[in-house]
Amino acid sequence: MKRILFLSLITLVICSFTKAEKVKWYSWNEGYELAKKENKPILLFVQATWCNTCKRLNDKTFNNADIVPIIQKDYIPVKYDVDTDIKITEGFKYEDQDLSGKALLLKFLPDHQLGIPLTVIWVPGAEKQIRIQGLKDPEEMKEILLGSNK
């Protein structure tokens, strides 16, 4: 009995120190090429490092244990930071173009209005985009992610 209790305790300790799996975010160019190669939609997360809502979306929703496997299986996750990426004057690949960070962002803002966090699901070469504005809880995001692949 003591042995079983001891082994259970060891297992509990080991499990408590293992890190939960997190989403591996790509830069735009890396993710864009990978999405084309693997024929998967891009999950574009437009955020800022100072944005608390963005941090909550990343930590509590995208890195939720139910969401991570969906993203890894069905999407190429790309992170765009509005404070740094928007200042880059060239180098973002899009279709047959070489865009600035601002011009790239405008491709996903048809009304030229930006509110963060913004999540966009887009397949390279397609016109259709799914825009998700603001914070979504894991259940809402799961529904969106699973529904957009139909």
Residue 69 inside a domain? The answer is yes
| Alpha carbons 103 and 95: distance in angstroms, whole number | 13
Residues 104 and 81: their CA atoms lie apart, in Å, by 12
> The tokens 């997360």 sit on which residue?
45
Range of the domain at 78: 21-148
Q: Could you tell me the CATH number of the domain that includes residue 92?
A: 3.40.30.10
Residue 16 domain-assigned (yes or no) = no
Element (H, E) at 28: helix 28-38
Domain count, the chain: 1
**Residue 133 three-state SS:** strand
Each residue's pLDDT expressed in tens, for the chain with a length of 150 residues: 555 544 444 554 444 444 568 999 999 999 999 999 999 999 999 999 999 999 999 999 999 999 999 999 999 999 999 999 999 999 999 998 999 999 999 999 988 889 999 999 999 988 899 999 999 999 999 999 998 765
* Residue 15 located in a structural domain: no
Residue 102 lies in a domain: yes
Distance CA 112, CA 40 (A): 26
Residue at 8 is within a domain: no
Query: Is 30 a member of any domain?
Result: yes
Residue 81 class from Cβ within 10 Å (0-12 exposed, 13-18 middle, 19+ buried)? middle
**Does residue 93 belong to any structural domain of this protein?**
yes
Residue 49, Cβ neighbours under 10 Å: how many? 10
**pTM of the full predicted structure?**
0.84
Residue 113 domain-assigned (yes or no): yes
